[in-house]
Amino acid sequence: MISWWISIAAPGNALLHSGIDKGTFAMSEMKFGIAAMNDRPRPVTPTDEKCAELREDFDYFDDNHDGLMEFGEFVGLMDGLGADMSSDECRIGFAEIDSDRDGVIEFEEFLDWWISP
């Protein structure tokens, strides 16, 4: 199984998207990589502030505002982050995050993935 991660190093460690088109927003020092999850330590319990930031980022890419991230929205997230991923890599990443295998990523799955060691 491939484990992968996205790391965003921006002011406040949040996506910079306020008022900017999804396809063209800029983030300072954005890094993307496919690596072992254990190589990148993450907190076990995120702060309320971090949860709020992640929720805002998740909601931003939830185009139809149904509280779920469908595959197309996930691809939009990867494109928005500047990730150069093939369709197969996107499918693998989506499947890893969609832990209940219902075909969509709920915020809780996204959060669990983000903070997992």
* Domain layout of the chain by residue ranges: 5-115
**Which residue type sits at 69?**
M
Q: Write down how long the chain is.
A: 117
Distinct helix (H) and strand (E) counts, the chain: 4, 4
CA dihedral sign of residues 44, 56, 97, 85: negative
CATH code for the part of the protein at 5-115: 1.10.238.10
pLDDT of residue 1: 39
Residue 28: which of 10, 6, 7, 54 has the closest Cα? 10
User: Bigger pLDDT: 66 or 18?
Assistant: 66
Return d(Cα 103, Cα 43) in angstroms, integer: 27
The answer to whether the CB of 85 falls within 8 A of the CB of 93 is yes
pLDDT, tens only, 24-44: 333 333 334 434 444 555 556
Residue 91 has pLDDT above 60, yes or no: yes
Number of C-beta neighbours around residue 48 at 10 A:
7
pLDDT of residue 30: 34
The token pair at 45 is 């319990």
Return d(Cα 94, Cα 11) in angstroms, integer: 27
User: Bigger pLDDT: 59 or 7?
Assistant: 59
Mean pLDDT of the 57-66 span: 95
Angle of the 87-97 helix axis to the 71-80 helix axis, nearest 10: 110
The answer to whether the predicted template modeling score (pTM) of the entire model surpasses 0.85 is: no
